[in-house]
Structure 1
Amino acid sequence: MNEFHILLTLAGIHWIALMSPGPDFALVVQNATRYGRTTGIYIAFGLSFGILTHSILSLTGISLIVHTHPVWFALIQIAGGSYLAYLGFSTIKSLYQRWKNRHQPQKPQSVSLWLENRKQAFSKGFLTNILNPKALVFFISLMSSLIPAGFSASGKLMALVILWSLSFLWFAILAWLLSSQRLQNRLQSAAVYIDGLCGGIFTLLGLMIGYHALIRIFLSTI
């Protein structure tokens, strides 16, 4: 198989994986629905840079080193699980605060707060992806099975470009569609339920990942 066909296969597998529901998908749905298009795009930007980082670490072999050390990988799992649980708990807490203050008038956001939200959106997207242990394993498997040792430097660079651009394209399209005016009008009444569902998903995934990490550490010590 020549480099062109390898890159084509890489793009196809990655595109299918991107469309699979997971923390990244839920994060875009929640934020684009609640905060609008710009926030959704910045979330997409952060997620795509997380994927780019995973791709670079996998190509250089760093991710494989981490994965083959049970304690190191368990620590990544704990960090990722804790962050997802934090996102879930924060969402549920925010829902409770909104319900508690539902009869009070809402204050308009200032420009400085809006700019801060953009930075937070990028950071949230990046951290959600980079701390996802399943993403680490996926890219190790993808790179090790498709990219041979003799792959050219230009081919590896093109692989990184493909993985990043497809990631940003998919999540940006998702954010764009979810934040269209017509869909926003329909989703506005369901926003609280979307937040609750995403908050529950993040919390559950975080706790499950943390539990498996603790089991891994326990088994490695006996």
Structure 2
Amino acid sequence: MLVTASQLAAFLAAAALITLSPGPDNLMVLSQGISRGRRQGMAFGLGCALGCLNHTLLAALGISALIAASPLAFTALKIAGGAYLVYLGWGAIRSPGTSFRADGDGSPQGSLLATFRRGLIANAINPKVVLFFLAFLPQFVNPAHGSAGLQTAILGTIFTLQGALIFGSLGYFSGHVGQWLAKSRKASQWLDRAAGTIFIGLGLRLILAR
């Protein structure tokens, strides 16, 4: 058996604690849910979670180790990821405000697929998540159970699934807060600006971090 029950239980406990701990992904999901409604928050959260599949594949193939060993590659990826977050933040700040539907679901007009894609890309190109997966997943791999690469892929997929559940829930409940706050287009515009400021701050932090 590649992954035992005890191995899986320990991994899930650690993964859930890490996912729930305050961090950039949580802030981005919460800001999207508050500023744009629960469905948009859930879409962005699911995108962030599924972006982990990219890091799982890299870790399983050993490419993450190559990226970590190359300062130039890591710096380039870090700048690209930070610039993308700044781009998302600037777009939110320039937003004229979001009109919430009157059907009570707190969902603004707009493409859920586009929001999902933004979350996916924001996570998939984050080099810190690349390094996190490289450091975290191998701790729960037991070479005696078989292929280390396959175990890494299984554990990474499980991490993605629990992340989708937690981030989706964060997006849903933060959307309720957003629906309560967004009583007018002007209020919604300020929510977008707040969300944009968070994205830009996280992007600059990623670019400038050593």
Q: TM-score range by the shorter chain?
A: 0.7 to 0.9
| 2:15 maps to 1:14 | yes
* 1:32 Cα offset (Å): 1.8
Q: What CA distance in whole angstroms lies between the structure 1 residues aligned with 2:145 and 2:137?
A: 11
Change (3 A) 1:212 1:35: closer
Relative to structure 2, which stretch is displaced further, 140-149 or 70-79? 140-149
* 1:157 Cα offset (Å): 5.0
Gaps of 5+ in 1: 214-222
Following superposition, which runs of at least 4 residues in structure 1 exceed 4 angstroms of deviation?
153-157, 189-194
Contact 1:59-1:143 within 8 A present in 2 as well: no
Structure 1 match to 2:194:
197
Change (3 A) 1:91 1:74: same
* 1:23 Cα offset (Å): 2.6
Q: Percent identity?
A: 27
Q: What CA distance in whole angstroms lies between the structure 2 residues aligned with 1:165 and 1:176?
A: 16
Structure 2 match to 1:216:
none
Q: CA offsets, 1:21-68, max 9 Å, x none? A: 233212221222233232222212211210122122112211111111
Structure 2 match to 1:210:
207
Contact 1:78-1:210 within 8 A present in 2 as well: yes
Structure whose CA Rg is larger: 1
Q: What CA distance in whole angstroms lies between the structure 2 residues aligned with 1:9 and 1:53?
A: 23
Query: Which structure shows the higher helix fraction?
Result: 1
Q: TM-score when scaled to structure 1?
A: 0.76
Number of equivalent positions: 197
Q: Tell me the secondary structure at the aligned position of residue 84 of structure 1.
A: helix
| 2:109 maps to 1:121 | no
Q: How does 1:113-152 map to 2 (within 5 A)?
A: 117-152=111-146
| 2:162 maps to 1:166 | yes
Contact 2:56-2:152 within 8 A present in 1 as well: no
Q: Tell me the secondary structure at the aligned position of residue 182 of structure 2.
A: helix
Q: CA offsets, 1:152-210, max 9 Å, x none? A: 35744542332121011001111222234xx4453325655543333222212222322
Q: CA offsets, 1:115-140, max 9 Å, x none? A: x6122111111011112222111111
Q: Which residue identity lines up with residue 181 of structure 2 in the other structure?
A: L
Contact 2:25-2:48 within 8 A present in 1 as well: yes
Q: TM-score when scaled to structure 2?
A: 0.79
